Amino acid sequence: MIKATNLSKQYGGQQVLDIETLEIPRGQSFGLVGNNGAGKTTFFSLLLDLIPPSSGDIENQGVKVNKSEDWKPFTSSFIDESFLIGYLTPEEYFYFVGDLRGVNKADVDALLAQFSDFFHGEILGQKKYLRDLSKGNQKKAGIVASFIGNPEVVILDEPFANLDTTTQILLKGFIKVLAQREDVTVLVSSHDLMHVTEVCERIVVLNKGEIVKDITTSPETLKELESFFGA
């Protein structure tokens, strides 16, 4: 379970995130939506202990993330291209992440094999470094890397942005499969309402750092969200 209590973040007196309480049960597929600057990335960065909270804290399966590093073995994430190592080939990057998560080469290869459609023949065996791949392909590599090593918490920031339609559909499939597993919590942020409503059981809307809506996804959710953002 992920639990944020009295969590806030300020930059120079400006409140960018203020969450009184938020609990994400284990195994839930959780969607975070909101306009630019709503605090989605800030929340994820706090969850990954990349920035310190101004007040409050986040627990990831009982571990206070800014007190201990014990959440790292079961948590994986892809936030942006700064999570990629530009001078490695995609394969080397996957093996490196595999090394970090105690997965050997053969198992990494087996996992990658499931993603051959997703990679569309543009990632593996290209004799190219990650820095020379297109933005979309970089993103694909980063997302797949976050699936390595059976993580129990997967955090993806804007995974659908910059991907083509076919890839988006494939990605939604993968996330759905992952979300069905009881032991895996998936956190996805997006400003595309359609994608999140499709893959997430629960959707939280952030606006200017505050939770303004917390809904369990139903057939009406998309309409509800659209009218909220359209208003």
Partner 1 sequence: MLGHFITLQRKAFFRSSSFGKSLALKLLMGFFAVYMLVALLFFGGALYFILRKLLPDVNPMWVVSQYMVYWVLAELILRYFIQKLPVMDIKPFLALPISKQKIAHYILGRSGFSVYNLLAFFFALPFVVVLIMNGYPALNVLLWFVGVVAIALSINYINFIINKSNAALITIVGLLFMFFVLDYFAILPVTTFFGPIFHGLYAYPFTVLIPIALVVLAYFINFKYLVQRIYLDASLKAKTETAKTSDLTWTRRFGDIAPFLQLDLKLIWRNKRTKAQVFISLLFVLYGLFFYTQDIYVKMMPMLCFLGVFMTGIFLTNFGQFIPAWDSAYYSMLMSQNIPLRKYLDSKAGLITFSVVVMFLLTIPYVYFGWEALAINFGSALYNLGINIPVILFFGSFNKKRIELDKSPFGNMQGTSGTQFLIILPVLGAPIILISIFYFHFSVEIGVLVLCLFGIVGLLFRKTLLDKITEQYRSRKYNMIAGFKEKDS
From residue 128 to residue 147, the character string flagging contacts with partner 1 as x (rule: CB under 8 A) and all else as - is: xx-xx---------------
With binding defined as CB under 8 A, does residue 85 bind partner 1?
Answer: yes
Report the alpha-carbon distance of residue 44 to residue 89 in Å, rounded.
27
With binding defined as CB under 8 A, does residue 228 bind partner 1?
Answer: no
Shortest Cβ 142–partner 1 spacing (Å) = 9
With binding defined as CB under 8 A, does residue 192 bind partner 1?
Answer: no
Out of 25, 37, 62, 73, point to the residue binding partner 1 (CB under 8 A). Answer: 73
Query: Do the Cβ atoms of 36 and 229 come closer than 8 Å?
Result: no
Out of 3, 96, 201, 229, point to the residue binding partner 1 (CB under 8 A). Answer: 96
- Residue found under tokens 């200017």: 208
With binding defined as CB under 8 A, does residue 59 bind partner 1?
Answer: no
Nearer to partner 1, 103 or 203 (CB): 103
Query: Do the Cβ atoms of 65 and 59 come closer than 8 Å?
Result: yes
Report the alpha-carbon distance of residue 166 to residue 173 in Å, rounded.
11
Determine the distance from the C-alpha atom of residue 220 to the mean position of all C-alpha atoms in its chain, rounded to a whole number.
24
With binding defined as CB under 8 A, does residue 79 bind partner 1?
Answer: yes
With binding defined as CB under 8 A, does residue 202 bind partner 1?
Answer: no
With binding defined as CB under 8 A, does residue 97 bind partner 1?
Answer: yes
Decide: residue 45, CB within 10 A, 0-12 exposed, 13-18 middle, 19+ buried: buried
From its phi and psi, is residue 68 left (phi > 0), alpha (psi between -120 and 50) or beta?
Answer: beta
Q: Which residue ranges make up the site for partner 1 (CB under 8 A)?
A: 48-52, 69, 72-73, 75-77, 79, 82-89, 91-92, 96-97, 99-101, 126-129, 131-132, 149
